[in-house]
Structure 1
Amino acid sequence: MPSSTSFNHETVSLDGEHFSDCEFRDCRLTFAGGEAPVFRNCKIVDCEWKFEGAAEQTLAHLKAVWNAGGKAPVQALIKEITGGGR
C-alpha cells in the first residue's frame, strides 16, 4: 500500500492497490478490471486514465448499449456513480 508517495510522469497500475495521501501528477493510470483501487486523501493532477482488459470491455459494452438506444440505463449508472441519485 503506497502511502505519502508522489508519482510523477509514471505509469501506475491501479488494480487491487490502496493509496493513502499520494499525489499523481502527469501519470498514466491503468485499470484492467481487477479489484477496485482505493484512494484515501490522494490528489490526481493532469493524469491520463487507461482502461485495459475487462475494464476496457465493460466500457465498450456500455458504449454499445448507449448507441443501441439504451441511454437511460447508462445515464442511471452514471448518476449512481456520481452520487446524483442520493
Structure 2
Amino acid sequence: MPGYERQTFDRKRIEADGFRFEDCIFNECTIVYAGGDLPSFINCTFDHCAFVFEGSASNTVELLRTWLMDTSGFGQLVRQMLDVSDEPPHPGAGKFEPDDESAEQTHSG
C-alpha cells in the first residue's frame, strides 16, 4: 500500500483511497474517501479538517443514513451492523464540527 510518513499537509485535498498515512499532520485539509481500497491512518493528527465521502462511498453513507431514519427495523439493523448503541456517547466523544462550507461539500456527493 503506497503511503506517507511524518508528512504535514496544509490546506490540501487528500484523496485517501488506498493510501497509508503514518505520523502525519493534517491542517485544514479535506480528506476524501471515494469507496476504493480502505485508507489507513496511524497516529495522525487532524486539525480543522473536513471528511468527505464521494462516489460509491457517498452512496453507501446515504443508504445507511436513510436506513437509520427508517422505522421498519432497518435503523436497528444498521446500529447492530456498525455496533452502535442508541445511548448518547460521553461528552466530546467523536466530536467533529465542520464549518458551513465543508458541511455542504460532505453532502454534495
TM-score by length of 1: 0.84
Looking at structure 2, the residues matched to 65 and 41 of structure 1 have their Cα atoms a distance apart, in angstroms, of 32
Please report how far the alpha carbon of residue 41 of structure 1 lies from its aligned counterpart in structure 2 after TM superposition: 1.3
Cα distance change on mapping 1:5 and 1:48 into 2, 3 Å:
same
Deviation digits for residues 8-47 of structure 1, max 9, x if unmatched? 1110000000011100111000000001101111111110
Q: Compute the displacement of 1:66 (Å).
A: 1.7
Match of 1:73 among 74, 77, 82: 77
For the residue of structure 1 that corresponds to 2:38, the secondary structure is coil
Q: Distance in 2 between matches of 1:78 and 1:13?
A: 27
RMSD between superposed Cα atoms in Å: 1.5
Write the deviation string for residues 52-84 of structure 1: whole angstroms up to 9, x where unpaired.
00100001111221222222122221529xxxx
**1:49 deviation in Å?**
0.7
- Output aligned runs, 1:14-33, within 5 Å: 14-33=16-35
1:42 aligns with 2:44: yes
% same residue: 30
Query: How many aligned positions are there?
Result: 80
Q: With structure 2 as the length reference, what TM-score do the two structures score?
A: 0.68
Partner of 1:53: 55
**Whole-angstrom CA distance in 2 between matches of 1:39 and 1:47:** 14
Segments of 4+ in structure 1 off by > 3 A? Answer: none
